[in-house]
Structures are given as structure tokens and as C-alpha cells.
Amino acid sequence: MDEMKQQIVDTGKWIMEKGLTWGTSGNISARKEDRIFVTASGTVMGDLKEEDIIVCDLEGKILEGEKKPSKETGMHLGIYRRRPDIQAVVHTSPFYATFCACMDLEMKTNLFIESMYYDEGLGRIPYFHAGSKALAQAVEEACGGTQVILMEHHGILVYDRSLAECRSALEVTENVCRMNVFAAMGHLPLKEVAPETVRDFLEGGYYKKRRG
């Protein structure tokens, strides 16, 4: 199997094993030069096969594969067009992230080392129908200043320099959302790291070199 397709298959299995989606919810893509590898419509993340990975160009023209690509391919392509640094995109509907995407909750993200890095500038967009041009446009407009977007009443979208980084961002953000939900339920004062410390942490590269 092509190495890129294998990475997508492995990522789908990891997502399902971690309980970070359900049913046929979610889609995965990765970029290799000017070719976009994306999961087909109606696929189950934990049961992806080689034929479930479609190859298209940045305009959505199918280059390889017999199946129909995910109906949400448009939002993936919008990110790749706007962000040449991005090499992978993952959309899923994990429980706590989706819970937060259904709540009018002010999210606190500067809680621990990984969350300060992966959830810097956590984005949020209102609900748009799945697969719609409006959703793709909203994602493309919102993807500039963050690597993670909560899509209201829909789920989460993460995008980064590799599928491995997407997996990390997905897991970290799900835990951030869990912490925010538990704090809200218990009326607990969830304390963030001080802004000046966060800035020093990011600019100093104390976890990883800051993007951009």
C-alpha cells in the first residue's frame, strides 16, 4: 500500500481505538506535493482500506480511486489552499469536543504544556450543513490563526504538519474540553497559566518550536 494511504488507514484505526469518533463520522486527508489523499464518503475510520483513500488535486478533481471522496473534502481543500504549511487534516466528533461545540462555553485552553501549544488561538465557527460550500468557506476563513477549530453542533477539525501532529492535537483538545466540561459542571474555578508566561513559553520554544 502507498505510504500515505497507510498513514491514513493507521490514523483511522487510532481514532477509533481512542474512541474519538463514532459511526461513519469523520474524515482524514493528507497532502503529498500537489496531490491530496482523502477518505471516501461513508467510510468507517477504524475499518479503512486502500480503496477507501481517494486522490485528488487542490481543486477537487479526482486523480485516483473509484469511490466518491468525502462530501467534506471542500473544507480540507480550503485549508490546503490557504495554508501551504499544512500537510494533514483530520475531522472527527469526539464526545467532549462535540459537547463543547454544542455549548455556549468560554473555553480555557492554557491549562498544561501540550494545550498551550496545540490549542493556541483555538478557533470556533457556527453551524453549517456538513459538506456545504458555506462550511468550506467558513473553515477556510477561520483556519489562519490556529490549528484547531470547534465546529458548532458538528465536531472538531485539526490540521498540522503531519498526521502524527494531528493525532496529538486531537487527543490534547479532547482532554482540554473534558476539563472545561467538568469544571463547568462542578462550578470549579479552572485556572489558566498567566498570559505572560504562556507568551514566554511559546516564544521560547519550551515544548516545540512555535509555528510560523
Length of the chain: 212
As given in the structure block, the three cell numbers for residue 76 are: 480540507
Q: Where are the alpha helices (DSSP H) in 37-193?
A: 73-82, 95-101, 113-118, 133-142, 163-185
Is residue 64 annotated as a catalytic residue, yes or no? no
Catalytic residue among 17, 72, 106, 165: 72
Phi/psi of residue 180, nearest 5 degrees = -65, -40
Kindly state the helix (H) or strand (E) to which residue 94 belongs, with its residue range. Answer: none
Between CA 189 and CA 158, with CA 203 as vertex, the angle to 5 degrees is: 65
Residues designated catalytic: 72
